[in-house]
Structure 1
Amino acid sequence: MPDPVLPSPDDAAPVPTGVPGLDHILEGGYAANRAHLIEGRPGSGKTTLALQFLLDGARLGERCLYITLSESRRELVSVATRHGWSLEGVEIFELVPPELSLDPRQQQSLVHSSDLELGETVRLAIAEIDRIKPQRVVFDSLSEIRLLSQGSLRYRRQVLALRSYLLIHDTTALLLDDLTAEQDDLNLHSLCHAVIQLEQLAPLYGGERRRLRVIKMRGTHFRGGYHDFVIRRGGLTVFPRLIAAEHHHSYDIDRLGSGNAGLDALLGGGLDRGTSTMLLGPSGVGKSSTALAYVTAALARGERGLILSFDEPTGILMRRAAGLGMDVAGAMADGHLRVEQIDPAEVSPGELAAMVRDAVEREGVRLVLIDSLTGYQNAMPGEQYLLLQMHEILTYLNQQGVTTLLVLAQHGLVGQMSATVDLTYLSDTVVLFRFFEADGHLRRAVSVVKKRVGPHEDTIRELRIAGDGLRVGEPLAGFRGVLTGVPSYHGAPGRLLAEREQSEQDRPGRDSHERE
């Protein structure tokens, strides 16, 4: 009995896809000498993905062929031009009516696909493959074969014949299917080595969202689940789903102070490296200003920072920081601080996670501020996904030794308040801010209600935002109900910041220049 023929070591070896991020999901790329099914509705990005695959092969000196039954050469060239590509090195074979191909200089034969029998259509495609002997092939699309087949059995047999021919001739192929049948046909899933599905989602407001999922990949581990991707000039970019457990990094344990003695005393000396802190309270109470104090303190230590701003433009943020005596503009100019203004209607969660990873791993960012989670929630399709996404991002940042600040606005200004989503259990530290009224003035209070790492004060202190920065007073003794926003005062006068400042100015011996 003859020995069985064993495949070569390079058989089904990874072949680069030419799509940033997709090789990571496929553990190296497509399988060499195999047929891959790329399916998705019209507009989901199949053609762009296929062209990137062929262009990458042409760059490596491989022979590449695009067989099209649905788009003309002119349309493909137009797509490539809009992305800034040249299709030099990529052969295009058209099986479309002549009236749809308007380039008089084209050298390929034009065949009326509507007048062809199914067998002749497949035969012509195989003949072109045999003539060029390509290493990479794209067949666009199988929907035309399905229509000519007029039956699932005949359709399956023709696709099987095409797939077998490609396998015999050591060709790596992408078979595109636009799912235009009344019901999605799963016949091809069992015939192809891999199945990748592209989706385009249209939210009620904002730009469309695109994502892909690898349904199968024989004999190869791949990253399951949905992965966001975008199509911009230059092609398609995939953002692999973040898995925090794969990104552990050792770091030195220390604390980050704010430069404000009272605020650091509340937090037991400052924020611990590799932890996340949530600043929770109503709008305008001082959450973002407090977070900026820690950002500027980290910059002063020579660290790099990232601010993801959902709620205010970069210009307003710079002006507000300058009004507090914090040099944010200078840090942005010298590259130590990166401020990204995020439009929740246009940025997908996967792209946002990739932005954070890029800042940490390539730029060495050690502090990240997300302002605010309310805006970030608008970028997510639902609350349950926000919890899962934030869990992965915070775990990733913690394992990288990054200090994370999260700002979350609550509904209401005084009295009973609530948040749209509860993320306090994910945060290592929770700092609570409140407005309260005393002697006809609106005042601010700050307290630490949770800290997993190290001790913290259990007092409530007054917070004041001034032109020279933040001021934190002594513990608010004599007050009751400050955290409810409706306090009552039962102590002696002179315990609040403004009153103490006034009493100091009225002390005997204090000249006018000192008071100024």
Structure 2
Amino acid sequence: MKSPRSAPAKASKKALTGITGFDEITNDGLPIGRTTLLEGGPGSGKTIFALQFLVFGAQHLKEPGIFVAFEETPQRIVSNCEGFGWKLAELQRKKLFFLDAQPTPDLIDSGSFDFRGMLAVLAEQAKKMGARRIVFDALDILLTLLPDAASRRREFYRLHEWLVEQNLTAIITAKSHGDPNGANSEHPFGFMQYMVDCSVTLNHRVVLGVSQRNLRVQKYRGSNFDENESPFVIGMNGFDVAVARTLGRVDARVSKERVSSGVARLDTMLGGGYYRGASVLITGFPGTAKTTLSGAFAEAACKRGESTMFVSFDSDGAEVLRNLTSVGIDLHRYVKSGLLRMISARTITGSAETLMVRIKTLTKEHGARCLVIDPVSTLSKAGNELTAHSVAERLIDWSKAEGITLVCTSLLDEMASQTNGGTPLQISTLADTWIHLNYLVQAGERNRGMSIIKSRGTAHSNQVRELILSDTGVTLADIYTAGGEVLMGTMRWEKESAERVANEVAEVARKLKGVSLDAEEAVLEVRAKALQTELIAKQVEKALLAGATESQERELSRGRTRLRELRGADATKPERK
């Protein structure tokens, strides 16, 4: 029989597992018609992974499967996996067969023990149901019963050849020993890693009291794959593997549509609001109104009729609703109508990966277009420091891929410098818009200031504006400076009041001066009219005098002429020239 190790590779043919993330890591699943070794310690999820592989094939690819159990009874396995909603009882009728192959406690090796009888039974069953997939769960238990290493190699080789002969895509699970990151020569079944075409290791450890799970593909003949460790969680639907960013991935669709932040003046500062599908980060110290801005965004989204989810890690949902009412943000009616879903996450424990998967699941269930996480810095709590940044990064990537507008708040350390600009998760570089809230202490007062550190793709204001909260809502005050210093609160009120008084005094003085000038103008106008009248009189008098003089001269001339005529005198002689 031809050795399976020399068989031609089938890199172009893969068997999808249906496990979120894992098919991306392996570029479409496990090698079809080949054997995959799945190793892991107790509680690492080997059985769940293998069974989910069979369930997906049976439900979605019309590929019946066989599950061979060496450690637990099929009844217990089915019972343990009922919570995943896989409908195993329905699948067992035609598409899924469980074989109870647990060795009996009183089994004694007689020297002639081998797998041929079991494989004959399985071959018949596979032919009967047209099986395409098979799982041998905890095969190491059966191999342990063989007397020596040579017998174990022989029987595993027999199994491997049989699987290739049957053209079954197989998963063999076994307990890991020693170093989980590579083959171990002291491993009693280490030879299996060399014989299979694909080898996957599951790890489960506790870091500072927090459970951390990850897997790594150690080898995959004839195919490229992601060689790094990938975190995973076992959620409501089974395995969910977190996939990191990869080169060549398809970019998420972008939108030029703007959505309101819920604060009109902030929209103006942003040039029209947030971009649809963008990630927004709101940072600040405790009490700087991060939750308030998030609530304003949620209210604006609900007013547009968009399904929204608000995840609160600091307070219960009812407390958040009550507190927001004090600043004119009433979300109760939207919760009642089902448009807004409040998630109180204070009691959720576990790794950052667990929190992210839970948030993703709830968001999909609600069909949310807008998501608020308050604060996302909770992901970096004790035990999650090493993975929190990666989780936040994937959360942003996921929201962009889904077209969800994401608003996250991040709590800054009160002892940190206000000019530091860093965030616990170091995701400020990933966010599309970064809004920073801080305190400005002046004259014994602490006032809230808001600035836009960055907003990709939008023209935005560089001003530090005072954030004003009142029972009528949230708004931003116009920037006010005096002597090059931004004034807020009482100092601003006092300065503005002093300016108002000064302006009023100046206005009164101006009016008084105007009245005085009006009076002087009136006097001058009267004087001007009197002079004008006097001038006219003088002009009339002058004209009358000239007329009288002229008339008198004419009369005198006529009188002289008449006297000469009466005296018979000679006519007047013309004067000599």
**TM-score interval, smaller chain:** 0.7 to 0.9
Contact conserved, 2:49 with 2:239, CA < 8 A, in 1? no
Counterpart of 1:504 in structure 2 is none
Cα displacement (A) at 1:40: 0.7
Cα displacement (A) at 1:168: 1.1
Cα displacement (A) at 1:195: 1.6
Residues 480/436 of structure 1: CA separation in 2 closer, same or farther (3 Å cut): farther
Counterpart of 1:463 in structure 2 is 467
Counterpart of 1:405 in structure 2 is 407
Which of 193, 203, 206 is the equivalent residue of 2:207? 203
CA distance in 2, matches of 1:243, 1:350: 19
Counterpart of 2:532 in structure 1 is none
CA distance in 2, matches of 1:116, 1:495: 100
Residues 251/467 of structure 1: CA separation in 2 closer, same or farther (3 Å cut): same
Which of 308, 313, 330 is the equivalent residue of 1:310? 313
Q: Structure 1, residues 231-282: CA drift from partner, whole Å, max 9, x if none?
A: 456x623234154763534444133334534333443443344543322221
Contact conserved, 1:251 with 1:400, CA < 8 A, in 2? no
Q: Structure 1, residues 463-507: CA drift from partner, whole Å, max 9, x if none?
A: 222222113222131387779xxx9998782449xx99xxxxxxx
Cα displacement (A) at 1:35: 1.7
Paired letter, 1:280 = T
SS of the residue corresponding to residue 374 of structure 1 reads helix
The question of 1:115 aligning with 2:109 is answered yes
Moved more, 324-333 or 188-197: 324-333
Residues 449/49 of structure 1: CA separation in 2 closer, same or farther (3 Å cut): closer
The TM-score, its normalising length taken from structure 2, stands at 0.68
Moved more, 74-83 or 317-326: 74-83
Cα displacement (A) at 1:66: 3.7
The equivalences for 1:284-433 within 5 A come to 284-342=287-345, 345-346=349-350, 348-349=352-353, 352=356, 355-356=359-360, 359=363, 365-378=368-381, 381-382=384-385, 385-395=387-397, 397-398=399-400, 402-412=404-414, 419-433=423-437
CA distance in 2, matches of 1:18, 1:400: 19
Paired letter, 1:412 = E
Moved more, 466-475 or 135-144: 135-144
Residues 232/473 of structure 1: CA separation in 2 closer, same or farther (3 Å cut): closer
CA distance in 2, matches of 1:200, 1:159: 27
Cα displacement (A) at 1:386: 3.5
Q: Structure 1, residues 21-64: CA drift from partner, whole Å, max 9, x if none?
A: 65555444443432221111122122233334445566688665
CA distance in 1, matches of 2:11, 2:279: 47
Contact conserved, 1:55 with 1:90, CA < 8 A, in 2? no
Cα displacement (A) at 1:283: 0.3
Structure 2 runs not aligned, ≥5 long: 1-6, 179-183, 501-577
Counterpart of 1:103 in structure 2 is none
Paired letter, 2:257 = D
Which of 252, 271, 274 is the equivalent residue of 1:271? 274
Counterpart of 2:34 in structure 1 is 34
The TM-score, its normalising length taken from structure 1, stands at 0.75
Which of 464, 472, 479 is the equivalent residue of 2:476? 472
Contact conserved, 1:267 with 1:457, CA < 8 A, in 2? yes
The question of 1:141 aligning with 2:148 is answered no
Cα displacement (A) at 1:209: 3.3
The question of 1:97 aligning with 2:104 is answered yes
Paired letter, 1:129 = L
Counterpart of 1:104 in structure 2 is none
Which of 113, 116, 125 is the equivalent residue of 2:118? 125
User: CA RMSD for the aligned pairs?
Assistant: 4.1
Paired letter, 2:273 = G
CA distance in 2, matches of 1:340, 1:247: 31
SS of the residue corresponding to residue 481 of structure 2 reads coil
The question of 1:451 aligning with 2:455 is answered yes
Contact conserved, 2:204 with 2:214, CA < 8 A, in 1? yes
CA distance in 2, matches of 1:354, 1:492: 47
Residues 480/435 of structure 1: CA separation in 2 closer, same or farther (3 Å cut): farther
SS of the residue corresponding to residue 477 of structure 2 reads strand
Counterpart of 2:68 in structure 1 is 67
Cα displacement (A) at 1:286: 0.8
CA distance in 1, matches of 2:43, 2:416: 49
Residues 62/478 of structure 1: CA separation in 2 closer, same or farther (3 Å cut): closer
Counterpart of 1:155 in structure 2 is 152
The equivalences for 1:10-25 within 5 A come to 13-17=13-17, 19=19, 22-23=22-23, 25=25
Moved more, 278-287 or 443-452: 443-452
The question of 1:176 aligning with 2:173 is answered yes
Cα displacement (A) at 1:163: 0.4
Paired letter, 2:34 = R
Larger Rg: 2
Paired letter, 1:238 = D
- Structure (1/2) with the larger helix percentage: 2
